[in-house]
Amino acid sequence: MSACYIGASSLGAAVPGSRSMPTSSQDLIDRLRSRGARLGVIGLGYVGLPLAVEFANAGFSTVGFDLDEQKVRRIMSGDPCGLGVAPAEVEAATASGRLVATTDFGRLKELDSVNICVPTPLRKTKAPDLSHVVSAVEQIAKHLNPGQLVILESTTYPGTVDEVVRPMLEATGLQGGDDFFLAFSPERVDPGNTEWTTGNIPKVVGGIDATSTAVAQVLYEQVVGTVVPVSSTQAAEMVKLLENTFRAVNIGLANEFALICHRLDVDVWEVIEAASTKPFGFMPFYPGPGLGGHCIPIDPFYLSWRARQAGFESRFIDLAGDINAGMPRFVVELIVAALNVRGKPLRRARIHLFGISYKPGVSDVRESPAIDIGQLLQQGGAVVSYSDPHVPTVSKGDLVLEEVPCERALKQGFDCGVITTAHSEFDYEAIANGAECLIDTRNALKGFQGDHIQRL
């Protein structure tokens, strides 16, 4: 159907040469339940690719859209690109024809439903950057058909669907809730987590009206065990921000405890372990070298930015952000102090980082505190290297490195090693016994003793 087709009262009309589109919400619901609907996912990253594969596995004809031609080719060859999906699943989905990856956004006109799963980073000013969302919605608007369902999954501030997405789609002449259905459902993907995946994590969904919520709920019920409807898109948008702000604030508290314990010469890891024995009223969070990934370091700033627009200063959230953002510099201070004890300056010191991705078991380096630490060390004149079985190369600013396998790094030697990501592939006994100076920011060396080991 032509992207410029307009008519709020023509929901059931057809355009010559087009494929049949849903004529009502019930028609779309019936197509979803019968697996006759054609689904689309824009953005084939850690969120979009697993979702597209789930749709395909459930029997839906699914089209995945991405701007990266190389990624599209790899996915079509059965390669999951390290995005948290088993290669066999991607290969089966593409080989069956149920999943097609493409850079051709013209195929949006063929679809009954489209999920937007694109990045939502921050600008340098810590303000939201919705450019990827806007670009995706522009493509959808070009090909929007009556009866289509559009769902935004990208994390954003409350009001994005109502204030940004809906007006762009309604500029076509079609009306949300009458001619097309629109909802928000926050992504809850945890990269590297094999226990909780797209298929078994409960899905929150809120539409611009009751009908949109109902249609979106039926879509997710075909692939997710539990769907939780809420009253509005703003409530659904706020859910994600609460989840990740909760984590960011509590990690900030754990990091501040670590700073206090360092001053008081108390083992913060022992304190947390002992406190965790309380069977009620306590949930353990752990300190670290800083926050990383596509959610926790970013989402609280989306909330605080939105709060400021409403005339409210989120002091508690901002303070936690400041504490977390300062941890890489504190780790560097620990490194400098450890070198000074051994009579070595930071300049020209060989510092080796064990782990460069933001969390164990993944190749994602977005917002990784290990990279921040590496850049700070390099600025101080240190010679930086790293081991990470998941990340062969790193290039961010002036920090351009190739991975040195752990065994070779230990053989070559270094002045100070820093455990920044607790990958299970590391031989921690070899690290503990083979290095003359170690800073452990993850408590990965628990049980190993020696004056050469210092924990965060």
The pLDDT score that the predictor gives to residue 192 is: 78
- Both 382 and 344 in one domain: the answer is yes
- Both 67 and 187 in one domain: the answer is yes
Round to whole Å and give the CA distance between 52 and 46. Answer: 11
Any domain includes 6? no
Of 323, 356, 380, the one marking the end of a domain is 323
Higher pLDDT, 67 or 16: 67
Torsion sign over Cα 357, 101, 21, 225: negative
Any domain includes 11? no
**48 has a pLDDT exceeding 50:** yes
Of 231, 255, 277, the one marking the end of a domain is 231
- The percent of the chain in helix, strand and coil, each rounded to the nearest 5, is 40, 15, 45
Where does the pLDDT of residue 426 fall: very low under 50, low under 70, confident under 90, or very high at 90 and above?
Answer: very high
Length of the chain: 456
- Both 146 and 266 in one domain: the answer is no
Which value, to the nearest 10 degrees, does the dihedral of the CA atoms of residues 55, 58, 61, 64 take? Answer: 20
Lowest-pLDDT choice from 21-25, 140-144, 159-163, 253-257: 21-25
> Which tens digit of pLDDT belongs to each residue from 216-250?
999 999 999 999 999 999 999 999 999 999 999 99
Lowest-pLDDT choice from 122-131, 137-146, 162-171, 337-346: 122-131
**13 has a pLDDT exceeding 50:** no
- Both 40 and 133 in one domain: the answer is yes
**18 has a pLDDT exceeding 60:** no
- Tell me the three-class secondary structure of 34-82, residue by residue: CCCCEEEEECCCCCHHHHHHHHHHCCCEEEEECCCHHHHHHHHCCCCCC
> Which tens digit of pLDDT belongs to each residue from 68-124?
999 999 999 998 888 878 899 999 999 999 999 999 999 999 999 999 999 999 888
Print the domain residue range for 227. Answer: 25-231
Looking up residue 195, the CATH number of its domain turns out to be 3.40.50.720
Active-site annotation, residues: 295
Q: How large is the average pLDDT for residues 41-55?
A: 95
Where does the pLDDT of residue 23 fall: very low under 50, low under 70, confident under 90, or very high at 90 and above?
Answer: low
- Both 147 and 186 in one domain: the answer is yes
The pLDDT score that the predictor gives to residue 199 is: 86
Of 206, 231, 256, the one marking the end of a domain is 231
- Both 145 and 109 in one domain: the answer is yes
DSSP state at residue 122? B
Lowest-pLDDT choice from 56-65, 145-154, 264-273, 286-295: 286-295
Where does the pLDDT of residue 21 fall: very low under 50, low under 70, confident under 90, or very high at 90 and above?
Answer: low
Q: Report which secondary-structure segment, H or E, holds 155.
A: none
**156 has a pLDDT exceeding 70:** yes
The pLDDT score that the predictor gives to residue 22 is: 61
**9 has a pLDDT exceeding 80:** no
Please spell the DSSP secondary structure of 402-437, one letter per residue. E---HHHHHHH--SEEEE-S--TTS-HHHHHHH-SS
Round to whole Å and give the CA distance between 213 and 208. Answer: 7
The pLDDT score that the predictor gives to residue 123 is: 87
Any domain includes 7? no
Beta-carbon contacts of residue 83 (< 8 Å; ≥ 6 apart) = 44, 45, 46, 49, 50
The pLDDT score that the predictor gives to residue 4 is: 31
**254 has a pLDDT exceeding 50:** yes
Give how far Cα 170 sits from Cα of 97, 173, 181, 380, Å. Answer: 33, 5, 11, 53
The pLDDT score that the predictor gives to residue 124 is: 82
Where does the pLDDT of residue 441 fall: very low under 50, low under 70, confident under 90, or very high at 90 and above?
Answer: very high
Where does the pLDDT of residue 297 fall: very low under 50, low under 70, confident under 90, or very high at 90 and above?
Answer: confident
**15 has a pLDDT exceeding 70:** no
**11 has a pLDDT exceeding 80:** no
- Both 54 and 162 in one domain: the answer is yes
Round to whole Å and give the CA distance between 428 and 387. Answer: 13
Main-chain phi, psi angles of 375, to 5 degrees: -65, -40
The pLDDT score that the predictor gives to residue 296 is: 83
Any domain includes 308? yes
The pLDDT score that the predictor gives to residue 102 is: 97
- Both 63 and 198 in one domain: the answer is yes
Any domain includes 448? yes
Number of domains in the chain: 3
Any domain includes 4? no
- Residue 402, classed as helix, strand or coil, is strand
